[in-house]
């Protein structure tokens, strides 16, 4: 862990479309939320790439990054992540190079190697491309070269993009991206907000195999943490039932817009369904300020993470902002 600074707090937004609200509402709410956490002192605000998923409005990720950056002033804005198998590296370099020119010093490029969608939509995005395990490391290297200053004899140049050196992060929920991030000397973000199973193994491997690079001299770890905070534990678990419903939809293949909270939702489910949701939320922090403070402190102590990136899906936008207020206050006491 880097001890030169207190642990940082950031946010990942899936840009949920709420039941009864529009996609436009979701997009503007994302910008409003970014403005709010910027005022709270958050370090960065990322949006994920998903396609053909009911209730998620973050498919055009680079466009959304620009939308959020245009409404904020200081906070870093980026992708968590761009699903690289869906895109040619040159296209990504040009898009994020353009963003870097518009918002210098504020753009991050997080990269993932999953398609972020179903197999039918994957074919629609990628046409006839067949992905192999070697493609992702090769594409990352190509992106690094396209965002670096041009060299003599370079025949393909990203304009905009070349020389912007947009910071690249590798994202993952397994050991593959952890090893690649260590090999390339890149910061690593583990997707424990939905797949916490290999969290400790991945960050241990990353730190032990890390090789310093021009962009990063020592390992830097960020972990994803689902958050629902409220005045009491009971209230927080009630609000979290919107998240429980969303996860059940993922597990069963019946996705819907983000639903209002339901009292007694978890108790109404089978034991298998409850176990499935609990496994998905193994790194979640849900509860009162005291519970949130303790949960964040335990996660930080266990992982020695340099940064915590919260996901926070609460049906009522104002209650979501209040939840983030609680997390920011709790993190201040954890850092102290």
Dihedral angle at the C-alpha atoms of 45, 46, 47, 48, nearest 10 degrees? -150
3-state DSSP call for residue 254?
coil
Give the pLDDT of residue 116.
Answer: 53
* Residue 20 region by backbone torsions, left for phi larger than 0, else alpha for psi between -120 and 50, else beta: left
pLDDT of amino acid 3: 40
- pLDDT given at position 134: 78
pTM score of the predicted model: 0.93
Contact 209, 179 (CB under 8 A): yes
What gap in Å lies between CA 176 and CA 51, rounded to an integer?
23
Collapsing DSSP to helix, strand or coil, 217 comes out as coil
Q: Using CA atoms, how far apart are residues 265 and 267, in angstroms rounded to an integer?
A: 5
Q: How far is CA 117 from CA 60, 120, 170, 172, in A?
A: 13, 8, 19, 15
- Alpha helices in 59-174, H assignment, sequence order: 61-70, 89-102, 119-126, 135-147
* pLDDT given for residue 334 in this prediction: 60
Q: What does the block give as tokens for 220?
A: 């830097």
Find, among 42, 44, 94, 40, the residue nearest to 69 by Cα: 44
Helix (H) or strand (E) segment spanning residue 290? helix 289-303
> Among the CATH numbers 3.40.309.10, 1.20.1440.230, 3.20.20.30, 3.30.1550.10, which is that of 8-335?
3.20.20.30
C-beta separation of 168 from 109 below 8 A: yes
Please tell me the predicted confidence (pLDDT) of residue 312. 97
Ranges of residues in the chain with a pLDDT under 50 are 1-4
Question: Shortest CA distance to 246 belongs to which of 216, 280, 270?
Answer: 280
Structural domain boundaries in the chain: 8-335
- Give, for 107, the enclosing helix (H) or strand (E): strand 107-112
């Amino acid at each position: 862990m880097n001890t030169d600074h207190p642990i940082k707090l950031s946010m990942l937004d899936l840009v949920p479309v709420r039941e009864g609200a529009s996609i436009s509402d979701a997009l503007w709410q994302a910008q409003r939320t970014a403005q709010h956490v910027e005022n709270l002192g958050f370090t960065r605000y990322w949006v994920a790439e998903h396609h053909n998923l009911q209730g998620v409005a973050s498919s055009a990720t680079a466009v959304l990054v620009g939308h959020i950056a245009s409404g904020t002033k200081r906070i870093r804005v980026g992708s968590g992540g761009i699903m690289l198998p869906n895109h040619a590296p040159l296209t990504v370099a040009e898009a994020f190079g353009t963003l870097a020119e518009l918002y210098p010093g504020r753009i991050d490029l997080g990269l993932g190697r999953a398609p972020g969608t179903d197999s039918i939509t994957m074919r629609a995005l990628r046409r006839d491309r067949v992905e192999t395990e070697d493609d992702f490391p090769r594409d990352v290297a190509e992106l690094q070269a396209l965002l670096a200053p041009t060299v003599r004899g370079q025949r393909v140049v990203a304009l905009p993009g070349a020389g912007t050196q947009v910071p690249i992060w590798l994202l993952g929920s397994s050991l593959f991206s952890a090893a690649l991030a260590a090999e390339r000397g890149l910061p690593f973000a583990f997707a424990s907000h939905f797949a916490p199973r290999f969290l400790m193994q991945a960050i241990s491997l990353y730190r032990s195999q890390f090789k310093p690079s021009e962009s990063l001299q020592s390992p830097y770890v960020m972990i994803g943490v689902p958050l629902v905070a409220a005045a009491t534990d009971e209230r927080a678990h009630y609000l979290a039932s919107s998240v429980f419903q969303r996860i059940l939809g993922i597990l069963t293949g019946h996705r819907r817009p983000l639903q209002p909270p339901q009292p007694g939702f978890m108790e109404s489910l089978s034991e298998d369904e409850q176990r499935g949701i609990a496994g998905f939320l193994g790194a979640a922090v849900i509860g009162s300020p005291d519970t949130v403070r303790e949960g964040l402190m335990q996660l930080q102590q266990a992982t020695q993470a340099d940064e915590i990136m919260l996901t926070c899906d609460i049906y009522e936008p104002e209650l979501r902002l209040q939840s983030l207020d609680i997390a920011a206050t709790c993190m201040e006491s954890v850092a102290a």
